[in-house]
Structure formats: C-alpha cells, structure tokens
Amino acid sequence: MSKPTLALIFGGRSSEHGVSCLTAREVLSVIDRDAYDVLTIGITREGRWVRETAEWPELADGSLPEVRTESPEFDWSHINEIDVAFPLLHGPWGEDGTIQGLFEMADIPFVGAGVLASAVGMDKPFTKSVFSAAGLPQLPYVTIQPWEWDVYRERSLARVQALTYPVFVKPARAGSSSGVTRVTHESDLVAAVEAAREHDPKVVVEAGALNPREIECGVIQTKNGKPIASVVGEIVVQTGGRHEYYDFEAKYLDHTSVNVIPADLDPETSERVRAYALQAFDAIGAEGLARVDFFLTDNVDGGLVINEINTMPGFTPYSMFPGLWQASGMSYPELVQHLIELALSRSTGLR
C-alpha cells in the first residue's frame, strides 16, 4: 500500500521566517518515514514556493536558517498529491488563516487551527475581544488603526496616556516579540509605534504587567476532539543581562532565557492556568494545538491575566510547547505523530 504524502511547509514572508525553518528542521528529524512520504516545501521571504530540504548545517550562534532562494520551484500541479499538510509557519501569511484557506479550498487536511481561529489568534485586538467576551482576565490595551495614526495621531497618543507606564507597543499581527518595544515614558511612544508599524500598520499598546512572571500552557486535542492541557511552565529571562523582557533575541539567539517546567506554582494557580488555557482554546475555536501565554502580575486581584494564544507554537530546541508535553508524558516524536494523525482524522470544510 502507498504511504500518505505529508507536506511540511515552512519559511514564509513574516519576520519569523528563521524560526519557522528551525521548527521544520526539528519536526522533519522525527517524522516516521516508514509511515509517510515527506514533501518539504519552503516559502522564501519573497513568497516563492520552492522544493527545500529543511536541512541546514550547524549554524553559528546568533543566526537562523532560511529558505534557499536557489532551490527549484515547487510544481503547483502536484498540490493535489498531498494527503496531509503540516504548515510550520509563524506569523502573517501562514499562521493567520491564509494558508489554511488554501488547504480548505484544495480539500487537503492540515495540522492546526482552521481559517477563523488562525486569523483571530494572529490578530491581537481581535483575540482580546474574544477573550473579553469569554470572561478571561486581561490587562488594559489600546488599538491604533492605520488610518487613525495617519489622521488623528494626537487622539491615539491621548488614549495611550490613559494606560499605566510602562507599556508594550506591538504589531497587532506578529509573533516572537518582533517589533515590540517596552516604553517607560511618553516621549518614546511615537518612535515605538513607528517601529511596530514597520511590521504591521495596525498596532496594539498594552499596559505592562507589574513584576510579571511569564507563564505558559500547552493545549492539544485528543483523538475524540477533546482539548486537554499540559503541565504549566515558566519562562525566566536571566537577570542582570541586556534583556528587559522576553524579546526575540532572548528567545532564539543568545540563549538568555530558560524554560522552567513545571513552573514553581501552587497547585491552585496551576489548575487555574490550565482551566483558562482550555477556555481560551475553546473561545477562538482552535483545533489541534495551541500554546496559551499568561502573566502572573501585581496589577490585578488574583494575579493571573491572559496574554495571548499561539495557534502554531514553535517546535525549536528552545520552544516551550514540546517541552510542556514531554513533561506531561508525550515525547517529541509522539507529539508530532499525534498532531498528524489528528489532521488525517478530521474532514476539511465545515466541521
């Protein structure tokens, strides 16, 4: 019997291109080649689809791989030969519902959330609106629309002044802390918004958490579709260094952050994190997998607020998501196999 063809899609046009390539390399290394024929498809930074290997030599510290532009073009006439797709893309043009819509139209099962959940999870202001409707605790925030910044800039700045400094200025639709600035004084706000707008014309400004602890929890679905939560982890950025918060370099380049699994939390707080993670997963209609991020902070009673949800979390050697599931009893290869099997077991279209 012929084996199903599994397509790994990685790279992409977002600022998280290199992280996606790292994820692809790690996932490829644990795919059961006796069970699947694997097709590796890279998307260049310019958006070209190519036949990439997802294999790179050892990289120097502080560098990330990227899809090689000299790779041969992907032949689109072969797209219907794909039995299941694993879109290992992070950020816009991949984690935001765009490629999920392509697979739905082509009737190809795929790993992860569908079009709507992916789009909502990628767009922070929409995520926050959904979380608010679900009753999940959050910190105050302001959304700055592109036209508003261009036409009513002073009004935008005045709305931000109602938040408590420090604030975090972020692109509304980006991940891995790309384009994020911690602002402690209003004189630095305009520059921070402009920096975020280099990644996304829509910007969100969030009140900073006081004395925050970064807490994360993984969610996957069982074979019958029931979401389950992992143990809870904590990200600790080394003190005394040059990182004020968990930024892109601390995550991927200079190894100054540590994943503590399980987090040193009392049982009641851990269970509350896990319950909120499942609630968030359900609120946006996620499927397959997600990582839900929280702060433990002095801002609010009870201390726990939700930060965001990632519908395609990283699988790099430094990523929290696979570590959470390993600590919960599911190894990296088992996790990858489980997600592929979930995708194969569900239909495309309305479900």
Q: Which one, of 94, 81, 44, 98, lies nearest residue 66 by Cα?
A: 44
Q: Based on the domain organization, do 102 and 27 belong to the same domain?
A: yes
**Contact indicator for 243, 237 with CB cutoff of 8 Å:** yes
Q: What is the residue-wise DSSP string for 92-125?
A: TTTSSSHHHHHHHHHT--BSS--HHHHHHHHSHH
Whether 154 maps to a domain, the answer reads: yes
Q: Based on the domain organization, do 251 and 323 belong to the same domain?
A: yes
- pLDDT value of position 56: 84
Q: Based on the domain organization, do 73 and 101 belong to the same domain?
A: yes
CA distance 282 to 231: 18
Q: What is the residue-wise DSSP string for 284-306?
A: HT--SEEEEEEEE-SSSTTSEEE
Q: Where are the beta strands (DSSP E) in 201-268?
A: 203-207, 213-221, 227-237, 257-260
Whether 38 maps to a domain, the answer reads: yes
Q: Based on the domain organization, do 200 and 241 belong to the same domain?
A: no
Last residue of a domain, one of 207, 235, 257: 207
**Contact indicator for 169, 207 with CB cutoff of 8 Å:** no
Q: CA torsion, points 132, 138, 139, 144, in degrees to nearest 10? A: -40
- List per-residue pLDDT tens for the chain, 351 residues long: 689 999 999 999 998 899 999 999 999 999 999 999 999 999 999 999 999 998 887 766 678 899 999 999 999 998 989 999 999 999 999 999 999 999 999 999 999 999 999 999 999 999 999 999 999 999 999 999 999 999 999 999 999 999 989 999 999 998 767 789 999 999 999 999 999 999 999 999 999 998 899 999 999 999 999 999 999 999 998 765 554 544 445 454 556 679 999 999 999 999 999 999 999 999 999 999 999 999 999 877 779 999 999 999 988 767 999 999 999 999 999 999 999 999 999 888 888
Q: Based on the domain organization, do 62 and 203 belong to the same domain?
A: no
Strand 84-87 and strand 304-310: pairing?
A: unpaired
CA distance 250 to 242: 9
Give every CB contact of residue 105 below 8 A, 6+ residues apart in sequence: none
CA distance 15 to 35: 33
Q: Based on the domain organization, do 322 and 182 belong to the same domain?
A: no
CA distance 344 to 111: 8
- pLDDT value of position 167: 96
Q: Based on the domain organization, do 194 and 272 belong to the same domain?
A: no
pTM of full prediction above 0.85: yes
Q: Give the residue numbers spanning the domain of 158.
A: 141-207
Q: Based on the domain organization, do 231 and 258 belong to the same domain?
A: yes
Whether 116 maps to a domain, the answer reads: no
Whether 351 maps to a domain, the answer reads: no
In this structure, what CATH number is given to the domain that contains residue 21?
Answer: 3.40.50.20
Alpha helices (H) in the chain, listed in sequence order: 17-30, 98-106, 115-122, 124-133, 146-151, 153-161, 189-197, 248-252, 267-284, 320-327, 332-345
Whether 261 maps to a domain, the answer reads: yes
Give every CB contact of residue 54 below 8 A, 6+ residues apart in sequence: 8, 10, 21, 24, 25, 28, 40, 42
- pLDDT value of position 64: 87
CA distances from 327 to 145, 189, 259, 294, 332 (A): 41, 40, 12, 19, 10
In this structure, what CATH number is given to the domain that contains residue 257?
Answer: 3.30.470.20
Q: Based on the domain organization, do 153 and 228 belong to the same domain?
A: no
CA distance 289 to 35: 22
Strand 37-43 and strand 49-51: pairing?
A: antiparallel
Q: Based on the domain organization, do 172 and 107 belong to the same domain?
A: no
Q: What is the Cα Rg of the chain in Å?
A: 20
Residue 51: strand pairing partners: 41
Last residue of a domain, one of 207, 223, 250: 207
Give every CB contact of residue 98 below 8 A, 6+ residues apart in sequence: 92
Whether 188 maps to a domain, the answer reads: yes
Q: Based on the domain organization, do 73 and 189 belong to the same domain?
A: no
Q: Based on the domain organization, do 151 and 222 belong to the same domain?
A: no
Last residue of a domain, one of 207, 237, 265: 207
Whether 350 maps to a domain, the answer reads: no
**Contact indicator for 282, 136 with CB cutoff of 8 Å:** no
- The distance of Cα 190 from the centroid of its chain, to the nearest Å, equals 27
The number of distinct structural domains making up the chain is: 3
At 269-322, the pLDDT tens digits run 999 999 999 999 999 999 999 999 999 998 777 799 999 999 999 887 679 999
